């Protein structure tokens, strides 16, 4: 395996002290793999801003590189300016810059409409201080007018100053490689790291996938449905599927892997060990 590949783990900010304790335990377990960074998500319209900031600071204080997610929809320029200055004063050098979702009940998009505007604003305000990650959608964003439109949106983010990208999760490696080829054909060569979602609960995965536009291939959906409530079989089969997916991606030249942990270490650790990373 190439040494310059980037491996990272994503968390969400817990809502309770108990959840925070569990996150500490998960982070300690995954830290032994020396990831390049941990990332922490950010709720719609900044609804988890306090929790995100707290989790980010604690990970940073434990000696790890950390990348807070920052979504701009529903936000003001001044609000974003304050946040990035806060990250900067905390010594954070890495941001995942996203458009994000408008919180339910909020009708106005705020002063930013697209992620490329957020990337450009961070660059204007802070120069090269931050390594900026953006999102990529190998199976295309659910709100994109067309595949071509989505490729164009991605190119705009890269041209605005993004350093690299993390994809939405997927289970079809061909979709990833086709997306990378399409972007490179537009002259964009930033690293696009595949996002990996371990499989532990089929109904939860199906719900996530319907919302975010990630496709569960028919063969995979039918196999998982066939296990019904047999959690052990779902996990065992899911581990085989995800390990094989990661292996194909790395063999095909993917520049790393970004694991959506859902604040759990077990499945990610098993995949990691099976891959021999």
Closest of 259, 264, 269, 266 to residue 37, by C-alpha? 259
Backbone angles phi, psi at 236, to 5 degrees: -65, -50
Where does 143-255 show beta strands of DSSP type E?
Answer: 164-169, 192-196
Contact 36, 6 (CB under 8 A): yes
Segment (H or E) for 131: strand 131-136
Give the count of alpha carbons within 13 A of 209, CB side only: 21
Give the Cα separation of 157 and 166 in Å (integer): 12
β-bridge mates for residue 178, sequence order: none
Catalytic residue among 10, 117, 133, 139: 10
Give the Cα separation of 153 and 167 in Å (integer): 14
What is the DSSP-derived secondary structure letter of residue 44? G
Contact 217, 172 (CB under 8 A): yes
Tell how many helices (H) and how many strands (E) occur in the chain. 10, 8
* 157-46-17 Cα angle (round to 5): 130
β-bridge mates for residue 258, sequence order: 8, 195
Q: Is 133 one of the annotated active-site residues of the chain?
A: no
Which residues are annotated as catalytic?
Answer: 10
């Amino acid at each position: 395996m190439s040494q310059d590949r980037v491996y990272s783990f994503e968390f969400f900010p817990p809502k309770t002290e108990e959840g925070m304790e569990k996150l500490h335990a998960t982070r300690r377990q995954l830290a032994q793999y020396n990831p390049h960074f941990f990332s922490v998500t950010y709720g719609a319209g900044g609804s988890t801003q306090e929790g995100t900031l707290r989790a980010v600071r604690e990970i940073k204080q434990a000696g790890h590189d950390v990348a807070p997610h920052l979504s701009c929809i529903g936000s003001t320029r001044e609000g974003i300016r304050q946040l990035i200055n806060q990250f900067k004063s905390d010594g954070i050098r890495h941001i995942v810059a996203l458009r994000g979702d408008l919180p339910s009940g909020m009708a106005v998009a705020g002063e930013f409409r697209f992620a490329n505007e957020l990337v450009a604003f961070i660059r204007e305000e802070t120069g090269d201080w931050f390594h900026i990650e953006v999102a990529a959608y190998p199976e295309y964003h659910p709100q994109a007018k067309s595949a071509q439109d989505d490729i164009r949106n991605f190119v705009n983010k890269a041209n605005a100053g993004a350093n690299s990208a993390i994809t939405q999760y997927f289970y079809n490696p061909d979709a990833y490689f086709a997306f990378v080829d399409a972007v490179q054909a537009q002259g964009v060569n930033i690293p696009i790291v595949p996002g990996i979602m371990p499989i532990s609960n089929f109904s939860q995965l199906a719900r996530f996938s319907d919302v975010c536009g990630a496709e569960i291939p028919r063969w995979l959906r039918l196999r998982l449905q066939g296990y019904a409530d047999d959690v052990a079989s779902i996990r065992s089969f899911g581990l085989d599927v995800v390990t094989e997916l990661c292996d194909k991606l790395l063999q095909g030249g993917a520049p790393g892997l970004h694991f959506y942990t859902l604040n759990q270490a077990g499945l990610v650790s098993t995949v990691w060990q099976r891959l021999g990373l």
